Amino acid sequence: MKRRNFIKNASLTGVGLAVGSTLNACAETASEQTNESTSKASLPLVIATWDVKNATAKAWEVLQAGGTALDAVEKGCMVEEANAEGQSVGKGGLPDRDGNVTLDACIMNKEGNCGSVVYLQNVTHAISVARMVMENTPHVMLAGKGAEQFAYENGFQKEDLLTEASKKAWEEWKVKSEYKPIINIENHDTIGMLAIDKKGNISGACTTSGLAYKMAGRVGDSPIIGSGLFVDNEIGAAVATGLGEEVVKTVGSFLVVELMRQGKSPQAACEEAINRIVNKPNSDYKNFQVGYIAVNKKGETGSYSIHQYFSMTKFQDEKNENIQSDYFIK
Ligand code: ASP
């Protein structure tokens, strides 16, 4: 059975749920098809979670000029961090339940080095601070006040990240909420970006304001190397978006890269990582979203998520397009 037909049939017959062995069997077919369609991949390329064409265009500019994949993913992510209208990354990110905007980000280079910031406040470009942690300190992660202090010492400006629009959204949430974070499947907009430069080297980055209205102090998957992001320049890279707790529990991005190491295509690897979450005992997957995107050393790409509200932006061969992902649940 072709999986696309399976999904179509499922929706036509009113079946809203598609998990288990039937889907696994179908996923195999879809991956084979994806493999065929991506076998002529050309470099350089950049992919990112969600519809972020301005960000991938910036990364592409860097790659086309002969820049490194590392510069490309940093500069690309910075576009979304500076976009005060985007409410899930950098400036304008939705706050925690107490009204604080706190950012998580990480970056990883072709040598397998990484840097990360956790619970960073008052600094827009968390991804650049993460890169400085990687390049200018002997550490991998800096958190909270220490990360903020480190940012100021390295020339970053203090800024109020809570915009009027995000403040208003938080105030409205406070009135009607039962005081729990939003795990709405449409509310996950972490930007994760993976690039391969002209020399064939891979890097990745991930930046977010995390779950909207989370508990103060909550940290998700996005700054955790192996969960939110993983890069192995010999094999490929993966990055996650969605409910970070579920990604952390399955060490999702590392899993996707290890599955590619075992020979799976990026598409099949993303699908298996999602299957692991969905097929866990008592999984509550109907009520949350997780999505992965991945690229292998050949420049083949894949993306997959639990729900339909997921897409990947891909800039390759002068084409900057947003690709809607397949999904488990209609
Ligand atoms: N992964 C992020 C987190 O859990 C949230 C998201 O992707 O929207 O913090």
* Residue of 94, 190, 253, 312 best suited for mutating to test ligand 1, as the one with most atoms within 8 Å of CB: 190
Please report whether residue 10 resides in a domain: no
Partners of 193 in the beta sheet?
48, 205
Residue span of the structural domain in which 123 resides = 16-318
Number of the ligand 1 atom closest to the C-alpha atom of 210? 9
The residue nearest atom 4 of ligand 1, judged by CA position, is: 244
Predicted confidence (pLDDT) per residue in 225-242, tens digit:
999 999 999 999 999 999
Please report whether residue 269 resides in a domain: yes
C-alpha 199 – ligand 1 centre gap (Å): 31
Residues 279-315, buried b or exposed e (16+ Cβ, 10 A)? eeeeeebeebbbbbbbbbbbbbbbbbbbbbbbbbbbb
SS3 of 286, please?
A: helix
**What CATH number is given to the structural domain containing 100?**
3.60.20.30
Please report whether residue 207 resides in a domain: yes
pTM of the model: 0.86
Please report whether residue 246 resides in a domain: yes
Residue 116 in contact with ligand 1 by CB distance below 6 A: no
- Sequence-separated (6 or more) residues with CB below 8 Å from residue 228: 104, 106, 190, 192, 206, 220, 221, 222, 239, 240, 244, 247, 252, 253
Residues of the chain under the 70 pLDDT cut? 1-40, 85-88, 177-189, 330
Please report whether residue 325 resides in a domain: no
Please report whether residue 248 resides in a domain: yes
C-alpha 116 – ligand 1 centre gap (Å): 15
Predicted confidence (pLDDT) per residue in 17-29, tens digit:
233 333 333 333 3
Residue 190 in contact with ligand 1 by CB distance below 6 A: yes
**Active-site residue among 190, 207, 208, 250?**
190
Whether 49 is a known active-site residue: answer no
Please report whether residue 5 resides in a domain: no
Domain count, the chain: 1
Cis bond before residue 223 (omega within 30° of 0): no
Please report whether residue 2 resides in a domain: no
pLDDT score, position 222: 97
